[in-house]
Amino acid sequence: MDTIITAADGHRLSTYMAGSDDADRALVIVQEIFGVNDHMRYVADAFAREGYCVIVPALFDRAERDVELGYGPDDIDRGLRLRAEIGEDKTLLDILAAAGALPSGIPRGIVGYCWGGTVAWQAATRSTAFKAASGWYGGGIAAAKAEVPNCPVQLHFGEKDGSIPMAHVEAIQAARPEVEVFVYPGAGHGFGCEARGSYLPKEAYLAQTRTLDFFAKHL
């Protein structure tokens, strides 16, 4: 379901919502650099089947509306350009607006992938809107490792991720020992996305199981 929400600065953005308003737990799901595409709707629907009320904000709306990209080289370049047009402070406003659009009175978590993994980290460290945060292969987390989360955080990385060296993962672990970090042997960037060539079903299932267990514990 597409719903329009309004951020604190007056920006209006579209969202994809799934799940029941009667759910016991809620999630903000944060997109990769490919927009709210079929994969992100697939992810949202999967969490909804697990009993969550979920919302996926269209973060690219600040740069260009209705962006849905594939996973080819041109798509990657376009996604990176769009992301570069949007400041971190504006993205956080949109995340907080999404959190506010979820049913009140139930615990809220946040989970993000790729760019969204970094955004989930920022939401955990720069706001108090969430009870738990999970980030999958967030490339910007190492640069923000000194920031202190305001809620429990779980992170997932691929051992062979060409854009996130293991040295970065180790630096995160050293700086934030309170954060649960999982590394998946042989996995590359985007190993959890069924639409990408790097998809690894076994590792994706394990990461999803750990994410669900994590949220069940903290939400």
Q: Where are the domains of the chain?
A: 2-218
Q: What percent of the chain has pLDDT over 90?
A: 99
How far apart (Å, rounded) are the C-alpha atoms in residues 1 and 183? Answer: 34
The residues that are catalytic are: 114, 161, 189
Q: Average pLDDT in the 35-44 region?
A: 97
Residues with Cβ within 8 Å of residue 213, at least 6 apart in sequence: none
Q: Give yes or no for residue 213 having a pLDDT over 60.
A: yes
Q: Average pLDDT in the 60-72 region?
A: 96
- At 183, which helix (H) or strand (E)? strand 180-184
Q: Give yes or no for residue 1 having a pLDDT over 70.
A: no
Name the pLDDT band for 2 (thresholds 50, 70, 90): confident
Mode of pairing for the β-strands spanning 25-30 and 108-113: parallel
Q: What is the pLDDT of residue 70?
A: 96
Maximum pairwise Cα distance, the chain: 44
Assign domain 2-218 to a CATH class. Answer: alpha beta
Q: Average pLDDT in the 112-132 region?
A: 98
Question: Per residue in 82-107, pLDDT tens?
Answer: 999 999 999 999 999 999 999 999 99
- Which token pair is 198? 């790097």
How far apart (Å, rounded) are the C-alpha atoms in residues 136 and 138? Answer: 6
Q: Average pLDDT in the 126-149 region?
A: 98
Under DSSP, the state recorded for 18 is E
Q: What is the pLDDT of residue 106?
A: 95
**Exposed/middle/buried for 15, CB within 10 Å: 0-12, 13-18, 19+?**
buried
